[in-house]
Amino acid sequence: MPVPKQMFDKDEKVLCFHGELLYEAKILEVDQDSPSGGFLYRVHYKGWKASWDDWVEDDRLRKMNDENRETAQALKRTYHESTQKPAKVTATKKRGQHSDFGSTRGSEERNGSMPTTSRGQKRGRHAEIEEEDAFQNRPMIKIPVADFIKSLLVDDWEEVTRNLSLVPLPAPKPANMIIDEYFEEEKEKRFPGSAEMDLLEEVRAGLKEYFDVALGRTLLYRFERQQYKEAIKAWTEGKGEWKGRICAGDVYGAEHLCRMIVQLPEMIAQTNMDGQSVNRLREEMTKFLQWLNRNTRTYFTADYEPTNQEYKDLSRGGNNN
C-alpha cells in the first residue's frame, strides 16, 4: 500500500469546500490521523470566526491558483443563480418548431418514460405527492457553461435544424479522444492515489459511458438520425477512416459531447447520487468545460457538411427511427 503524501503544508493558503462552495482558507495544523489513512488539515476560513475552524481531508482542499480561483467563482455564480426564484413558465413555442427537422431530443424519452400502473389503475394522490417530493429533494447539479460554448451550441442547432447541414463524421477528434486528452493534461496536477485522482478517473470513465448510452437516445436532432444509421453501419464494417472506431464516442465529437454535458443536470437527477458526490462532479465538469472553452478551435468543427436531396428525402421519409 503506497504511503500517503502530504499535499498541503502548515500556513499554506488554500481553497476549501464548505458545502457547495469553495472558500479561501489557511491551514493551521497538519495531522496524519485521517480515517482514510491520509492527512487531516485544520483550516481557518478567511473572514470567518474561529468557531468555524474545521478539520478536513485533502479531498476538500484545492491549491490556491488561478484555475481553482476561476472554479470557485464559477461555483459561486451557479449557486446564486440556482437560489434565485425561478421565473414563471409561460407557454411558448419551442425553438425549431417551424422546421420539419426540429429537435426531438428529450421528447421521445419523455413520451416513453411516463409513469404507468398495472391494469390502468389510478395511483393515489398521496403516492404521487410522495414521489414528487422525493424527486424534488434529490441533489441537483447546475454546470456553468461558458458563453462562447453556448454560442457554439446555438450555431450547431441552426446548422442542423435550419441549414440542414451535418457535423462531418467520423470526427477527427472524437469525444473519447477529447476526454482522454483532458485527462492526460489534468492528471499532471494531481497526486497519484489521491482522492482527486480517483475522482478524475471515475469522471473520465463515466463521461465515456454516458456518451455512448445517450447519443442515440437524446443527443441527436431528427435530421441527424439518418446519418446515425449510416454511421453505425460504417463503424460496424470498420473500413478506411472508420477502422478502429467501435462506438459513438469514437465517431462523434465536441458538438455532441457538449450537448450531453448541458443535459447532465437532468440525467443526474435520475440517479441516487448524494449531495457530496454531486458537488464533486459539478467541480470536475466545471474544470472540464473551462479547459474545453480554451481549446474550442482544436475540437469543434469549422465547417458543416451540406446534404443532398436524397438525404433530405430519406430523413423526411420516416426511415430514421
Structure letter (DSSP) for residue 197? H
| Whether the predicted pLDDT of 257 surpasses 90 | yes
- 17 by Cβ neighbours in 10 Å (0-12 / 13-18 / 19+) ranks as buried
> What phi, psi does 27 have (nearest 5°)?
-80, 120
Whole-angstrom Cα distance, residue 39 to residue 193?
Answer: 13
Would you state the cell numbers that stand for residue 295, as one nine-digit string?
Answer: 481549446
Segment 254-269 mean pLDDT: 88
Question: Tell me, what amino acid is at 268?
Answer: I
Establish whether the linkage from the previous residue to 174 is cis, with ω within 30° of 0.
no
Would you state the pLDDT for residue 136? 47
Note the Cα 1 to chain centre separation in Å. Answer: 33
Cβ atoms of residues 245 and 238 within 8 Å: yes
Three-state SS at 168: coil
**Length of the chain measured in residues:** 321
> What phi, psi does 144 have (nearest 5°)?
-70, 125
> Among the listed ranges 106-120, 127-141, 167-181, which one has the minimum average pLDDT value?
106-120
> Among the listed ranges 143-152, 207-216, 263-272, which one has the minimum average pLDDT value?
263-272
| Whether the predicted pLDDT of 88 surpasses 90 | no
Q: Write b or e for each residue in 142-171: b if 16 or more Cβ atoms lie within 10 A of its Cβ, otherwise e.
A: bbbbeeebeebbeebbebbbeebbbbebbb
Would you state the pLDDT for residue 319? 47
Question: Tell me, what amino acid is at 147?
Answer: D
| Whether the predicted pLDDT of 66 surpasses 70 | yes
* Model pTM score: 0.63
Segment 209-215 mean pLDDT: 93
Structure letter (DSSP) for residue 7? -
| Whether the predicted pLDDT of 301 surpasses 80 | yes
Would you state the pLDDT for residue 276? 78
92: pLDDT confidence band, cut at 50, 70 and 90?
very low
Would you state the pLDDT for residue 104? 45
